[in-house]
Structure 1
């Protein structure tokens, strides 16, 4: 299926059904269930932490990205961090070049391991996104991937249990206090 056809389908289906999200992976459409309230609360916690530390950045929880280097398709991270104004006029699927960080929060579904812990880090590293942040609700950890190498993925991975502190490296440069995630 051509990417252009997927984009047309994704725009239509999102308007009609807010209970699913579409992604385009290796030439095929994949469905993801919409997130729940706890997922949204974690997103908002992260928004507040990032905006407080870096008000010149925008935290977007709806922006899709072109991640063609690995997935030959489109991904919709749970959130992305970029300079304010970066997504202007880019439409539903932005170029990842100006994105500083992609964020995923694990869902309670059978595909979360493969999608969030294997495929997404590889895809985001190959797209050159400097930081990939995984809020892993299953393992109760925050995992920071950095130093992307398109050939091998992220070369640095740091993990902290919920309740600890962890630094998102440059170009993000934010320290996260994850105590709130323990609740």
Structure 2
């Protein structure tokens, strides 16, 4: 017997239609659908945007054949999830022709930058690592402004990431293959409260 909490709130197609209508009328939020549950993600603040700009510059300089997209992804085979990572590193042209919710084929890394809201713990530190690992995304980079740390998740096994590395802002972190980029995280100290 299936518990009520195990049932999705809606089908992925219903979520897409709902999100399309709400996005046209509501400012300041982005919708996600993870593990069968509807979630609301706040629109980034200025410091959040600076972190993404910083990371985009590094990625393009190190790997000019890649692009750091801000695009919705179809995640999880179970319950057909939809997520809006803050960044999706993939070969240039990967999202062409895919609409609002792109496949994860070709995605090398997803990036989340924590927001100062009550859902960060559940969303960015619990649900998303699991969802991205289940989807097989090779690297998940969490830039955690609350703890002033960078967490690199890698080696997904279909359930979880087998390797997790946590470093404080200011250290150099090597993003594992297939990304293969080093990040000097000292500038991140400028964009935290």
The TM-score with structure 2 as length reference comes to 0.89
Gaps of 5+ in 1: none
CA distance in 1, matches of 2:170, 2:57: 17
**Farther off after superposition, 125-134 or 109-118:** 109-118
Provide the aligned C-alpha RMSD in A: 1.3
Q: CA deviation at 1:102?
A: 0.5
Q: Is the 8 A contact 1:131 1:146 kept in 2?
A: yes
**Farther off after superposition, 17-26 or 164-173:** 17-26
The TM-score with structure 1 as length reference comes to 0.94
Q: CA deviation at 1:13?
A: 2.1
Partner of 1:159: 166
Residue by residue over 1:11-58, the C-alpha shift from the partner in whole angstroms, topping out at 9 and shown as x without a partner, is: 232232230100113333222221111111111111011111011001
CA distance in 2, matches of 1:27, 1:147: 24
Q: CA deviation at 1:71?
A: 5.4
SS in 1 for 2:105: helix
Q: Is the 8 A contact 2:34 2:127 kept in 1?
A: no
CA distance in 1, matches of 2:78, 2:114: 21
Partner of 1:111: 119
Partner of 1:124: 132
Return the index of the structure with the highest Cα Rg: 2
- Equivalences, count: 181
CA distance in 1, matches of 2:114, 2:146: 7
CA change 1:167–1:70 in 2 (3 A) is farther
Q: Is the 8 A contact 2:134 2:158 kept in 1?
A: yes
Partner of 2:189: 182
CA change 1:166–1:114 in 2 (3 A) is same
Q: What does 1:74-89 correspond to in 2, within 5 Å?
A: 74-89=82-97
CA distance in 2, matches of 1:72, 1:107: 25
Gaps of 5+ in 2: 1-9
Partner of 2:7: none
CA distance in 2, matches of 1:173, 1:73: 28
CA distance in 1, matches of 2:132, 2:78: 8
Partner of 2:38: 29
> Which stretches of structure 1, 4 residues or longer, exceed 6 Å deviation after superposition?
none
